[in-house]
């Protein structure tokens, strides 16, 4: 059985600058990859591998190889889902609650004309520790951010998705998945 915990990150000003930079570059990677895939899809020759190696090589130095890999993997999941829905639509088996099937969107807020700030951390690249009755999220490159929220699962942790909520000005980390063993 899968479970998800949600944490609120409470970074210092320095840590917040690093998080903004990391999330900004993750959004740039997603948007560039999505642009390439949308262009090939609309030209009628969708190719999974087109542009992936070049983008990975470009962004692995900036984001780290594991984070670049996870952003690409999440984009793959979004496109697989879209293509599966298209197949269901062609076969006339689309669920009734789905009215329109669209390709994955860019990580961008159209109204504010700003990128959506989020990133994905691989399951073996972070850990949650407790020191002096406070919990911390330890990320690559020595980033140790205080968090609040309950750890509601035990077992193997999954990937961690970190995003910034523009409305509240807060950082959140949902998607910290694990398996519960009863």
| Tens digits of residue pLDDT in 50-73 | 999 999 999 999 999 999 999 999
The model's pLDDT over 91-120, given as tens digits with 9 standing for 90+, comes to 999 999 999 999 999 999 888 889 999 999
* pLDDT for position 149: 86
* pLDDT for position 179: 44
Q: 């669920």: which residue's tokens?
A: 95
What are the backbone dihedrals phi and psi of residue 57, each rounded to the nearest 5 degrees, phi first? -65, -35
Give the mean pLDDT of 32-51.
Answer: 94
Residue 123 burial class via C-beta count within 10 angstroms: exposed 0-12, middle 13-18, buried 19 and up: middle
Task: Of 121, 133, 132, give the one whose Cα is nearest residue 158.
Answer: 121
pTM over 0.75? The answer is yes
Give the separation between CA 136 and CA 123, rounded to whole angstroms. Answer: 16
């Amino acid at each position: 059985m899968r479970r998800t915990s949600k944490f609120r990150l409470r970074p210092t000003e320095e840590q917040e600058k690093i998080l903004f930079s990391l999330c900004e570059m993750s959004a740039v990677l997603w948007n560039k990859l999505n642009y390439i895939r949308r262009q090939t899809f609309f030209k009628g020759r969708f190719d999974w591998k087109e542009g992936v190696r070049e983008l990975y090589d470009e962004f692995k130095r900036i984001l780290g190889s594991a984070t670049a890999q996870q952003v690409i993997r999440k984009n793959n999941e979004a496109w697989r889902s879209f293509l599966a829905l298209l197949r269901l639509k062609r076969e006339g088996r689309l669920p009734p609650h789905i009215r329109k099937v669209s390709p994955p969107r860019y990580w961008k807020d159209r109204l504010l004309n700003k990128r959506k700030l989020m990133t994905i951390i691989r399951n073996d690249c972070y850990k949650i520790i407790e020191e002096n009755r406070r919990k911390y999220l330890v990320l690559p490159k020595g980033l140790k951010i205080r968090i609040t929220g309950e750890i509601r699962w035990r077992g193997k942790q999954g990937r961690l998705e970190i995003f910034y909520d523009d409305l509240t000005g807060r950082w959140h980390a949902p998607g910290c998945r694990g398996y519960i063993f009863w």
